[in-house]
Amino acid sequence: MKMQNPITPVLSKAMLDAHSAIGVFFGAVLYLVCFSGTLAVMVAEFSLWEDPSGPFQSSYSPAQHERLMENAYAAAKAEGFDHAIYVVGPSAEEPRITVTGYTDLGDYKQWQADAEGNLLPMANTGWSEFMRIHHYQLSIPRPFGLYVVGLAGAIMIASLFSGLIAHRRILKDAFRLRIGGSDRLTNADLHNRVGVWALPFHLIVALTGSLLGLASLFIGIVGYAAYDGDEDKVYEILFGTHPEDVETVAPLPDVRAVLASIESTKPGTEIVWIGYDHVATAGQMVHVATAEPGHLSRAEMWTFAPDGTFHHKAGYTDGSVGMRIYGMLAPLHFGTYGGLPLKLIYVFLGSGLTLIVATGVNIWLARKRTQGYRKPRLERAWTVLVWGQIPAFVLAALTELLDVAPALPVYWAITILPLALAYTKIEVSTLATGARLMGGILLVTLAVLHGLIWREHALIDSVVIDIALATLGALLLWRSVPRTKTAELSLKAAE
């Protein structure tokens, strides 16, 4: 008697659809990471653009740091945020001084400071902060969000190598770019050419992103294997000795002595941030992150006793090979080691990496169509996601600018809710055009409103960003204008 196959055609089709959806889901995660990462390269510049009111400083003397610490401790203690105090800036990349006070449970409050060390209300940079955290962990709680982003980097590495090996005509087709023909050929050529031309950058960004995202997992593994499960030992090697939990009252640390010690050891070193742990207790420690001249690392870690006595240096600039590699991960990933020109190169190349992910899924969907297995819902969902990222980020920036709503819920609402359009009968081209049109209108609106709201505090950098946003919006609007058949043929001929 012949046994009946338990996998019915209906079940088989459902599993194939689920398999396809899972593939597109992972492509979506990669796309969100790459898109947000391209923006996050400029997070320091966007932070200054978002609130250009200042105050700003190009440098800060030891005497100014001492006065600021006294004021910061008084303000933090009055509100119960004096367990740890961190002072970020001023630096070449971040001329705004940010003071953050923490409780022992991790709750915090932030201020900004002026040249006299006075604390002021924190600047409104909610959108920039959302963008930074979103790229790090896709708004997923730690450490799971970091793991997801780290795994996305690992998947990207595997995709780059497998695609490279699979493309047998890589040298012959290195300069082949067919624009204006079928969508599949256009996407394939863009995917392959951009993937090959910028391969070193793509590998560096994917590898460093994967290591940064999975760092805490690796630390746990090393702690378990080498220190009998004691992760604190690994953290002490990477970030310095953890302060003792001693509640005996003690004077504030001698920050002048700390900074003098660093300057005498490494003249010309830039102070990135200073952290005071267990402030005003007998067990307190001072941690300082520095950017040393001639080194890629932008956060060499120094640890000092409260009286300024040197205690520990991580060695990101002059330690073991492993420590030096660890110190280079973040600068290599975000391009923070070469100033604004290098960041713009990273934005350009990051846009290419985002394009690779988008065209990769487009190619797969087009292949399914030619094989007679069209996935209309996935096509519509993918189109909405890809072109919807610009409206999502821009509307989130607008609501923060107008103080209407925080960026996080606005972004996710604009990202997720339109996916319901996948269940409609709207053409994919119509969805793409509508998203581009919305993105263009929102970009121009954001640039104009920002310029009007901050016209009395206009910085050159802010004006440049407003012009760039308006220009990009105009290009999207132009790209959304319906064309006659003759105009389309002329455009293809020109391309």
pLDDT in tens, 137-186: 999 998 899 999 999 999 888 888 887 776 666 656 566 666 655 566 67
Tell me what the mean pLDDT of segment 83-92 comes to.
Answer: 91
Query: pTM for this one?
Result: 0.87
Tokens linked to 395: 């509307």
CA angle 187, 189, 190 (to 5 degrees): 65
Instruction: Determine the Cα–Cα distance for residues 440 and 278; give it in Å rounded to an integer.
Output: 49
Tokens linked to 107: 């709750």
The residue extents of the domains of the chain are 375-495
Mean pLDDT of the chain: 86
Instruction: Determine the Cα–Cα distance for residues 250 and 279; give it in Å rounded to an integer.
Output: 8
Tell me what the mean pLDDT of segment 382-406 comes to.
Answer: 96
- Cβ atoms of 399 and 410 within 8 Å: the answer is yes
- Whether the per-residue pLDDT at 22 is higher than 70: the answer is no
- Whether the per-residue pLDDT at 304 is higher than 90: the answer is yes
Spatial CA neighbour of 449 closest among 10, 35, 45, 50: 50
Which pLDDT value is given to residue 485?
46
Instruction: Determine the Cα–Cα distance for residues 94 and 374; give it in Å rounded to an integer.
Output: 49
CA distances to 1, 74, 216, 299 from 238, rounded to whole Å, are: 67, 30, 11, 11
What strands lie across the sheet with 310-313, from one edge to the other? 119-121, 108-113, 97-102, 84-88, 270-277, 285-291, 300-304, 310-313
Confidence band (pLDDT; 50, 70, 90) for 103? Answer: very high
Percent composition of the chain: helix, strand, coil (DSSP 3-state, to 5): 60, 10, 30
For 375, other C-beta atoms within 10 Å of its C-beta total 19
Length of the chain: 495
Instruction: Determine the Cα–Cα distance for residues 354 and 322; give it in Å rounded to an integer.
Output: 30
Tell me what the mean pLDDT of segment 442-458 comes to.
Answer: 93
Residue type, 463: V
Spatial CA neighbour of 353 closest among 367, 339, 378, 335: 335
Q: pLDDT tens digits, residue range 190-241?
A: 776 777 788 889 999 999 999 999 888 887 787 777 777 777 777 776 766 6
Percent of the chain with pLDDT over 70: 86
Q: pLDDT tens digits, residue range 412-430?
A: 999 999 999 999 999 999 9
Which pLDDT value is given to residue 85?
96
23 or 215: which leads in pLDDT: 215
- Cβ atoms of 119 and 75 within 8 Å: the answer is yes
DSSP conformation letters of 346-357: HHHHHHHHHHHH
Percent of the chain with pLDDT over 90: 56
Contacts by residues 445-449 (CB-CB < 8 Å, ≥ 24 positions apart): 445/398, 445/473, 446/394, 446/397, 446/398, 446/401, 446/473, 447/473, 449/398, 449/401, 449/402
Confidence band (pLDDT; 50, 70, 90) for 353? Answer: very high
261 or 296: which leads in pLDDT: 261
Confidence band (pLDDT; 50, 70, 90) for 360? Answer: confident
Q: pLDDT tens digits, residue range 363-382?
A: 888 888 887 778 889 899 99
For 181, other C-beta atoms within 10 Å of its C-beta total 10
